[in-house]
Structure 1
């Protein structure tokens, strides 16, 4: 019996060490060397300080900045532990709204968002889906170029700069499909806002601002 168990036990130990320790550490090591930015969380740094991650959205609320998608994340109300309060883009958790299509709260919120966008100059029949629907994770870092374009006039007015300047910056930060096939064109909200701040501070042309990763919300 021991004759049969010994090789079986040895194989279990060997493959546990190989597949549970050696391979994972090897992949981590290779990733850190070959893809250091991605392996370390795609962190965006300015002046030696971390100001965010390219993979996690942030809750921009001022008209001076582009806004991300609706985030349905909520947390415990500090004043009443039995209740919850909205904590959009709370990176310590991730969740969707889980509201049904028949939810009155969902309909009211979407109707309010549509009304706001129409007041800002959008046409009701051409409003981008991501401008009125919440993020599935609550942490989406990207929005569609169409949604960003809707916000450009508002941002330009708040910053007292020509809207064409903001649109040029937006175009410089629009990413296409991966390998020309996968995914959809997108705009990273944090990167765009950081470059927008840099543009305002330096007075540089949009083309040069796209190389700068600066500021915070």
Structure 2
């Protein structure tokens, strides 16, 4: 019995030290080398911190691009999805309410044309980006509210669209916070 218990106890102690001590310290040290020094990349506007570049936030005014909905109210400390399946009646009711709200604020848009990302929350609930299509569909509303030509806002969306990583990994995307800051800076 001693032959098996003592090696198991030693292995447990070694793994606790490695996995609960050394590994987290190593990851924290690597994070300090990343942009934002492991604390996230803050976005400032006129000297004031207005958000984080890699964490979404809510925009509900018609003069702004709306972000993807969040099941956790954009709380970076507790990211996660709703964990409700696509046939769950409560989930379907929430999605339908989001569709109704979007259609009410975006007259002329057909239900079938709404990108899914504008009415469904992501798995993390923190997505800061939209697809160019999800930004494009909101342009008429924003142009009307800001009394600007749609072409000017469309140029802004193109300017803030980032292509796939390395030109082929992942989709093109638009950071909603940075786009809305640029909208506010338009003269």
Q: TM-score, normalised by structure 1?
A: 0.67
Written as runs of structure 1 = structure 2, the 5 A alignment for 1:47-126 is 47-73=46-72, 88-118=73-103, 120-126=107-113
Partner of 1:207: none
**Residue 161 (structure 2) pairs with residue 174 (structure 1):** yes
| Residues 1:40 and 1:134: Cα distance change in structure 2 (over 3 Å) | closer
Is 1:188–2:187 an aligned residue pair?
A: no
Residue 27 of structure 1 aligns with which residue?
Answer: 30
Structure 1 unaligned blocks of 5 or more:
1-11, 74-87, 204-217
Q: How does 1:189-204 map to 2 (within 5 A)?
A: 189-199=176-186, 203=187
The yes-or-no answer on 1:143 pairing with 2:162 is no
Q: Secondary structure at the match of 2:44?
A: strand
Q: Structure 2 length as normaliser, TM-score?
A: 0.76
What is the aligned-residue RMSD (CA, Å)?
Answer: 2.7
SS at match of 1:52: strand
Q: In structure 1, what is the Cα distance between the partners aligned to 2:168 and 2:149?
A: 34
Assess if the C-alpha contact under 8 Å between 2:45 and 2:181 holds in 1.
Answer: no
Structure 1 residues 145 and 89: CA distance shift in structure 2, 3 A: same
Q: Which moved more, 1:126-135 or 1:155-164?
A: 126-135
